[in-house]
Chains A and B, each alone.
Chain A
Amino acid sequence: MEEKFLLPEGASCGFRALTKGKDGNLYIGSNDGCLYSFDIDSTSFKKASELLPHKTCCTGAYTSVSGKIYVGIYPDGNFFQYDPLTGSTKRFSTLPKGNLGLYCTGFIDLPDGKMLIMTTGGNPGIVLFDPESGKTEIVYEGNTEKETRGFFNGFMDSDRIIANYHESIRIFNWKKMAFEKDLIEDFHESLFLLEKAGDEYYFGGCPSGNMYKISNAKLEVVKKDFPAFNMVNNYHALGDNEFICIGDNGLVMRFNLKTGSFRSHQIDNIADKGMAIQFLSKIPGEDFIVGAHFINSQMFRIKLSM
């Protein structure tokens, strides 16, 4: 039902750094500074490119209309362009040097051949990128409080792009290079990537774990209380109200919102080296130590007395 493949030694995927290429391969931006391709037919990894000479953090991956792979990084918010046909890699800057704490998270192709690049974090913004000339231009400088995370969700119509931010769903008009009225205002939790099904959009919220639907600019909860508190990063519509997704606790779920059918399958981790220890503390007056793993917040207790 599932197949599992350990990434090459030293490789671990960064944030949102997984994309499917036009050549059928999966591309993985790794925290070891490399871009790997995975051939599904031969089930083998290949180091496609060494993005950086040192370890970095990949924060976004995207396959452009042209077939080139884009990978955004942290902390300078810059991005890389990898061409699977030639094997060449180019690096581009989003903001002037010296700005750190930036995540390059979003990419989208524009109808005129240019692209928009999104940065979030310490100095959020949107950059217009011309793949032909390699020139970049800042077209929007954002709000450091409201735009700590974000990504593009695709086109709403020919002029307008849906963009997710921390607690809002916004509309960016690329012809005017300006935001319009928010699609959804006053959303009080973080939200994940939108999935379009017909005229409706579906997405997951955090921390509630609810599945939301946007229909005619109205928001409603269509599913909640997934087993074992699973939260879903993104849903995939299969048609006729059927969806498949995976929760952050490894539960793959396929369900139908109309018929109510629900099937699930739990996947367990196989990595022998998984979570580093985030904190370890002796509790005064107690004979045990409390600790927690990064990044899943798994807490544990170690008894000191044998």
Chain B
Amino acid sequence: MTKQITIEKIAQPKCRLPVINIFSQHLPERGILADIAYSDMGRGVLFLVNTETHLWKKNFFFLKAPVAASAL
């Protein structure tokens, strides 16, 4: 029987979204703040944030499936 090794985070344990060296973009006409989370494995994530705080609810977001390469 094999055991799974455990990986323990020992520094920066709360690093949850690496927004590195990207200037966020504000689109006031749409009420959107846009930014990109870094991924050096070719899987960056663009996210759009509603800037109206009354819409900030936990666990409410729409996740879109990756766009197929053939559709590009």
Contact = CB atoms under 8 A, between A and B. Distances in A.
B47 A299 contact: no
Interface in A242-274: 244-250, 252, 254, 263, 265-274
B57 A40 contact: no
Contacts of B19: 233, 246-250
Contacts of A3: 47-48, 61-64
A302 B51 CA distance: 40
Contacts, number: 230
A296 B15 contact: yes
B26 to A, nearest CB: 4
Interface string A1-41: 11111111111110111111000001010111000001010
A256 to B, nearest CB: 11
Task: Determine the interface band of chain A, counting residues with CB < 8 A from chain B.
Answer: 35 or more
Contact of B11 (A10, A11, A299): A299
A249 B56 CA distance: 18
A11 B17 contact: no
A300 B51 contact: no
A138 B23 CA distance: 26
Interface of A: 1-13, 15-20, 26, 28, 30-32, 38, 40, 43-47, 192-193, 228, 233-234, 236, 238, 244-250, 252, 254, 263, 265-276, 290, 292, 294-303, 306
Interface of B: 3, 5-12, 14-28, 30, 32-51, 53, 55-57, 60-67, 69, 71-72
5 contacts: A3-B47, A4-B48, A233-B23, A249-B16, A296-B18
